[in-house]
Chains A and B, each alone.
Chain A
């Protein structure tokens, strides 16, 4: 054998050895689909997580959800809190090779606030973006905003040149008549590139070898397939056809654990599931009490709260996979969760409260509940109906698919509900969102305050505190005010917080993965043997 030949052979063997050692494909199945690659089309956790492999924001969120640097290396705030200066990372390239500069940030700031974007709240409408130099951007505000960049990890930066060259400088509008380039193609700065994308069928991500950061993952490729059917998704994991699934249905968790080739990662999710009351109408829409609204009486709300046996819901309905909660925000997101405790389960006390309020024989009320939105949502409501029956309240349950449910109970349906179940995760991971959106008064029709406060709970004291919380930049003071506000709403029995449902991911034993509490499946932290 000549030297040349043996050299060739050696190189070939080496190449085969290398590619066998390096080619790592992770196959991932989620119950939901990846519909559009345009990062401003729909603001929803799963989609944001998918696109977070391709696109990046100015900030990032770590495994513990702490805000860290992203495309911006660092930032500083002026003393009056009205000017934020962001120092952009140098040497970052988009997947098509273009350099990332301040122009792209300015462009993305316009695009994300344009008509058709579902992320308009990411950036205040009146914030001005000023380019200082190619790698410095000033954001000028009209009022201080300590949580300005709290959601910027999912405000993904797009390339100006690429978007303009492909005629996709505006977000894909809902009523578009031609498909937009950005909904089928992506050009980000992130750890993975889109190799192919068939909407709703299959998306292939390839590792971006030119990424500015040293990758934590060891993958060369991610193949994402939606699998809508629970049984099939679990079967695909157990048979080893996929490596990661989300979610594992509660009833299958034990089977996944027992299978030997996969395990179930579980943990409390940030979403809080709660019950709400219509306390704004003078007469309930669905009740036999006429001429007055029993839920306006705090004692009735307290009675309902005390009648709910949360432990029974946890053990029977949720099979242990829920964390009962006394707060309307996930305990992970506030520094003093232990200071709030649920009132004791006490049906007799609840009956007395009802009698004091003038309903010794209870009353009848309609309840709205989705049955395909949250984990076991329909069953939770059925359990609540049974528990309330014990204090003499007859609840007429209307459990319905989410399409119908949200059409009925949200503002667009004129808040057409008397008693309902809902889940809420503050998009900003901050209490202000909860206090403003679901605890704020609805009395000003021109304000977006309280738009998701379906029952119209209103306490002006809370509103005043909420406004202060928005602009307070001193963290300790701010946390105190938040605690004050939650103390008021808790004492008002504004809602009945139930629990945080559990996250449940199925992961093959050959894969190591970090589970983040906001249920974002981020595979750039995954390693595969």
Chain B
């Protein structure tokens, strides 16, 4: 088991170096950071000096090497725009993103799985058809449009929920700020987490439905029926449990993408998380923030994949042997 984890971590190092290389090649096309840092009537001599100070005149390979050497020590430099350490900025913004991702993941699982089970068991009922229709909307409408529609309905027209921000946050210790402990914080979470979780919810619903239908046709379910087990026990004890293996894979990977792609939702709702920070950094060519964020997301995906692999072992005893011996 330890060997398995170690090997995975080593692989992840390779992934991260690849991410750094690709990211740096991309940065050459996002424009010139220096012009974004100063007013337009700044003397060019000053602009040139700034570029020199930031090391932007060095060859690209030197810049990459410097970045990787610093990243290995968790030094991601100072944001061009904020003049603050990138790690501090990301740490400040992380709670917002993680809370939003967590709530929307819970939302998508808590709503998606029951909906999937229901549509599988009562395929022909009107409600199941309604669920299917809703899921089509969830899959096909782009996130920003859903967000704006929700804002106009619930914030502008009805005035029930806030249209932007995190509401009142409470500081827990020095590092974490939470919106989960205040009424305004919880209200502020509703619209963004639905927006962010809707796509995942429909995905999970459709996946559970398809898997469930598949499993219900298998022999052991038929035998279980023949044995006279209760329908409830068959559906939830046997069928549902066996549909969950692929659902865990998808849900795990989707958690990664919920965090990584919260960018759009965060922008629509002005949610002060890492995604918004990243998007603004792209607009103002703030390379240190972009680089650190991309590295972090790369790392996150590696870790999530690892955790998913380990979870398999818990759910499916047959896999324990392969992982254990690896």
Nearest Cβ on chain A to B174's Cβ, whole angstroms: 14
Query: Cβ of B51 and Cβ of A412 under 8 Å apart?
Result: yes
Chain A 160-177 against B: per-residue CB contact (8 Å), 1 yes, 0 no?
000000000000111111
Given A225-B164, A231-B148, A433-B41, the answer on whether A175 and B32 have CB atoms closer than 8 Å is: no
B252 within 8 A of A: no
Scan residues 276-316 of chain B and give those whose CB is less than 8 A from a CB of chain A.
276-277, 279-280, 283-285
Given A42-B37, A228-B276, A451-B44, the answer on whether A403 and B283 have CB atoms closer than 8 Å is: yes
Nearest Cβ on chain A to B200's Cβ, whole angstroms: 22
Query: Cβ of B31 and Cβ of A403 under 8 Å apart?
Result: yes
Query: Cβ of B31 and Cβ of A407 under 8 Å apart?
Result: yes
Residues on B with beta carbons closer than 8 Å to the beta carbon of A406: 31-32, 35-36, 40
We find that the number of chain A residues with CB closer than 8 angstroms to chain B is 62
Nearest Cβ on chain A to B43's Cβ, whole angstroms: 5
Which stretch from B18-26, B60-68, B85-93, B202-210 is at the chain A interface? B85-93
B270 within 8 A of A: yes
Chain A 227-244 against B: per-residue CB contact (8 Å), 1 yes, 0 no?
111011101101111000
Scan residues 147-204 of chain B and give those whose CB is less than 8 A from a CB of chain A.
148, 151-152, 155-156, 159, 162-165
Among B32, B268, B276, which residue has the most Cβ atoms of chain A within 10 A? B32
Given A228-B267, A402-B31, the answer on whether A437 and B41 have CB atoms closer than 8 Å is: yes
Docked Cα-Cα span, A180 to B270, in Å, equals 27
Query: Cβ of B34 and Cβ of A412 under 8 Å apart?
Result: yes
Dominant SS among interface residues on chain A: loop
B45 within 8 A of A: yes
A417 within 8 A of B: no
Query: Cβ of B164 and Cβ of A236 under 8 Å apart?
Result: yes
B322 within 8 A of A: no
We find that the number of chain B residues with CB closer than 8 angstroms to chain A is 60
Nearest Cβ on chain A to B138's Cβ, whole angstroms: 20
Residues on B with beta carbons closer than 8 Å to the beta carbon of A412: 32, 34-35, 44, 47-48, 51
A121 within 8 A of B: yes
Query: Cβ of B156 and Cβ of A235 under 8 Å apart?
Result: yes
Query: Cβ of B46 and Cβ of A229 under 8 Å apart?
Result: no
Docked Cα-Cα span, A86 to B83, in Å, equals 34
Docked Cα-Cα span, A229 to B151, in Å, equals 12
Residues on A with beta carbons closer than 8 Å to the beta carbon of B81: 33, 35
Given A120-B46, A175-B53, A231-B148, the answer on whether A241 and B155 have CB atoms closer than 8 Å is: yes
Nearest Cβ on chain B to A409's Cβ, whole angstroms: 10
Scan residues 52-92 of chain B and give those whose CB is less than 8 A from a CB of chain A.
53-55, 77-78, 80-85, 88-89, 92
Nearest Cβ on chain A to B163's Cβ, whole angstroms: 4
Given A174-B53, A175-B78, A200-B272, the answer on whether A235 and B42 have CB atoms closer than 8 Å is: no
- Name which residue of chain A comes closest to B34, CB basis: A412
Residues on B with beta carbons closer than 8 Å to the beta carbon of A201: 92-93, 272
Docked Cα-Cα span, A41 to B279, in Å, equals 22
Query: Cβ of A232 and Cβ of B83 under 8 Å apart?
Result: no
Query: Cβ of A235 and Cβ of B31 under 8 Å apart?
Result: no
Query: Cβ of A410 and Cβ of B53 under 8 Å apart?
Result: no
Nearest Cβ on chain B to A144's Cβ, whole angstroms: 21
Docked Cα-Cα span, A29 to B46, in Å, equals 32
Residues on B with beta carbons closer than 8 Å to the beta carbon of A91: none
Chain B 7-36 against A: per-residue CB contact (8 Å), 1 yes, 0 no?
000000000000000000000011111111
Nearest Cβ on chain A to B55's Cβ, whole angstroms: 7
Docked Cα-Cα span, A179 to B84, in Å, equals 5
Scan residues 168-201 of chain A and give those whose CB is less than 8 A from a CB of chain B.
172-180, 183-184, 198-201
**Sampled A-B contacts (5; CB under 8 Å):** A38-B83, A115-B49, A174-B54, A235-B155, A235-B156
A-B pairs with the 7 shortest C-beta distances? A403-B31, A407-B32, A43-B39, A406-B35, A201-B272, A175-B53, A404-B31
For the complex with contacts A179-B83, A235-B151, 4 further pairs of A-B residues with Cβ separation under 8 Å are A173-B53, A200-B280, A227-B270, A412-B44
